[in-house]
Amino acid sequence: MNLTHIEHLGIAVKSIEESLPYYENVLGLKCYSVEEVPDQKVKTAFFKIGQTKIELLEPTSEESTIAKFIEKRGEGIHHIAFAVDGVAAALAEVESKGVRLIDKAPRKGAEGLNIAFLHPKSTCSVLTELCEDPNKK
Ligand code: CO
């Protein structure tokens, strides 16, 4: 498996609107996209630092896994996403090494990426996402 870089960090927030001033006015980043992902019952906001993005995740429903995360652990870093060449092959490889998968096959995430999550029980408690940009190359 060839991880190329940290694609993004997912950060759970109660409110994107209330979080924006810190990222924009203090850190000097510019939010370039706000996108709702109905599938995951979240609203996302993106910032870019070099090749890496920060993805703020705001729950749009009590049923959202992000709502449950915030309830249990509070706001904060939710997951790390690695860019990989070939998510499907990477999933097969890590599964063969005994890693528990949340997604057995890649699915569509924000920004049209193909994504899949690995279970934190198998990843030293860090929810881990593998993703690839199908339009890259
Ligand atoms: Co993500």
Residue type, 36: E
Distances in whole angstroms, Cα of residue 122 to Cα of each of 21, 37, 98: 35, 26, 8
Q: 28 CA distance to ligand 1 centroid (A)?
A: 22
Please report the pLDDT score of residue 89 as a whole number: 96
CB 41 within 8 A of CB 64: yes
- pLDDT of residue 112 exceeding 90: no
Q: 79 CA distance to ligand 1 centroid (A)?
A: 7
Q: 26 CA distance to ligand 1 centroid (A)?
A: 23
Query: pLDDT digit string (tens) for 96-111?
Result: 999 999 999 999 887 8
**Considering only CA atoms, which of 45, 46, 71 is closest in space to residue 58?**
45
Which pair of tokens denotes residue 23?
Answer: 């990222």
